[in-house]
A and B are shown apart, each in its own frame.
Chain A
Amino acid sequence: MDFFVKNLWGEDIPSLAGLRDKGKISFAEQGFPTIKTEAWKYSYFQPEDLGILQADVSEHICGEDCHCHEKQDLPFDAYRLKICNGNVSGHHFDFPEGILVKSLAEAIYDGDVKNYLNKSFDMNLFPFAALNTAYLEQGLFVCVERGFCADKPIYLNYHNHAEKNIFCNIRNIFVVESDANIVLIEDFNSEKDGQYFCNTVNEIYIGRNAHFRHYKKQNESAKAHHIALNCVNVKQNGTYTSFCHQNECIFARNETYVKLLEEGAEAKVDAVYKLQNNGHSDITTNIRHLAEHTVSNQLVKGVLSGNSKGVFQGQIHIAPDAQKTQGYQLHQALLLSDDAVVDCKPELEIFADDVKCSHGATSGDLDKNQLFYMQSRGIPYDEAKQILIDAYLNEVYSHIADDEIRQWIQKK
Chain B
Amino acid sequence: MSEQLLKITDLCAGVAEKQILKNLSLTVNEGEVHAIMGPNGAGKSTLSNVLTGKFGYEITGGTIEFKGKNLLELKPEERAGEGIFLCMQYPVEISGVSVNNFLKHAVNAVRKYRGEKELDAAEFLKLLKSEAKKLNIAPEMLKRELNVGFSGGEKKRLETLQMSLLQPSLAILDEADSGLDIDALKMVAEGVNSLRNQHNSLLIITHHINLLDYINPDFVHIYADGRIIKSGGKELAEIVEKNGYGEFLQAVE
Which residues of A approach B to under 8 Å, CB–CB?
367-370, 372-381, 383-384, 387-388, 390-392, 394-395
A-B contact pairs, 27 of them (CB 8 A): A372-B55, A373-B88, A373-B91, A374-B94, A374-B106, A375-B75, A375-B76, A375-B77, A376-B52, A376-B77, A376-B80, A376-B88, A377-B102, A377-B106, A377-B110, A377-B166, A378-B113, A378-B166, A380-B77, A381-B75, A383-B109, A387-B105, A388-B97, A391-B96, A391-B97, A394-B96, A395-B96
Distance A388 CA – B55 CA, assembled complex (angstroms): 18
B149-166 interface code vs A (CB 8 A; 1 in, 0 out)? 000000000000010001
Interchain CB contact (< 8 A) of B94 among A368, A381, A391: A391
* Interface SS of chain A: helix
Distance A392 CA – B91 CA, assembled complex (angstroms): 20
In the bound complex, residues from chain A placing their C-beta under 8 Å from that of B79 are: 376
Interchain CB contact (< 8 A) of A377 among B75, B80, B96: B80
The reply to whether the CB of B14 lies closer than 8 angstroms to some CB of chain A is: no
Structural contact, A370 and B94, CB atoms closer than 8 A:
yes
Within the complex, the shortest CB–CB distance from A366 to chain B, in Å, comes to: 11
In the bound complex, residues from chain A placing their C-beta under 8 Å from that of B86 are: 376
Structural contact, A388 and B109, CB atoms closer than 8 A:
no
B71-113 interface code vs A (CB 8 A; 1 in, 0 out)? 0000111011100011010011011110001100110011001
Structural contact, A377 and B162, CB atoms closer than 8 A:
yes
In the bound complex, residues from chain B placing their C-beta under 8 Å from that of A376 are: 52-54, 76-77, 79-80, 85-86, 88
Distance A374 CA – B106 CA, assembled complex (angstroms): 8
Distance A395 CA – B97 CA, assembled complex (angstroms): 11
Structural contact, B77 and A379, CB atoms closer than 8 A:
yes
Distance A214 CA – B218 CA, assembled complex (angstroms): 66
Structural contact, B94 and A379, CB atoms closer than 8 A:
no
In the bound complex, residues from chain A placing their C-beta under 8 Å from that of B95 are: 391
Within the complex, the shortest CB–CB distance from B246 to chain A, in Å, comes to: 35
Structural contact, B92 and A381, CB atoms closer than 8 A:
no
Distance A239 CA – B96 CA, assembled complex (angstroms): 28
In the bound complex, residues from chain B placing their C-beta under 8 Å from that of A381 are: 75, 77
In the bound complex, residues from chain A placing their C-beta under 8 Å from that of B53 are: 375-376
The chain A residue sitting closest to B145, CB to CB, is A391
Within the complex, the shortest CB–CB distance from A299 to chain B, in Å, comes to: 13
Structural contact, B97 and A383, CB atoms closer than 8 A:
no
Within the complex, the shortest CB–CB distance from B173 to chain A, in Å, comes to: 14
Structural contact, B105 and A379, CB atoms closer than 8 A:
yes
Within the complex, the shortest CB–CB distance from A71 to chain B, in Å, comes to: 32
Distance A372 CA – B57 CA, assembled complex (angstroms): 13
In the bound complex, residues from chain A placing their C-beta under 8 Å from that of B166 are: 377-378
Distance A387 CA – B13 CA, assembled complex (angstroms): 31
In the bound complex, residues from chain A placing their C-beta under 8 Å from that of B106 are: 374, 377-379
Structural contact, B80 and A392, CB atoms closer than 8 A:
no
**Which of B53, B54, B76 has the most chain A CB atoms closer than 10 A to its own CB?**
B76
Within the complex, the shortest CB–CB distance from A160 to chain B, in Å, comes to: 35
Within 8 A of A (CB), among B35-62: 52-55
Within the complex, the shortest CB–CB distance from A151 to chain B, in Å, comes to: 32
The chain A residue sitting closest to B83, CB to CB, is A378
In the bound complex, residues from chain A placing their C-beta under 8 Å from that of B97 are: 387-388, 391
In the bound complex, residues from chain B placing their C-beta under 8 Å from that of A369 are: 92
Distance A388 CA – B114 CA, assembled complex (angstroms): 24
Distance A377 CA – B171 CA, assembled complex (angstroms): 12
Structural contact, A372 and B102, CB atoms closer than 8 A:
no
Q: A378-B109, A380-B109 are in contact. Are A388 and B77 (CB under 8 A)?
A: no
In the bound complex, residues from chain B placing their C-beta under 8 Å from that of A377 are: 80, 85, 102, 106, 109-110, 162, 166
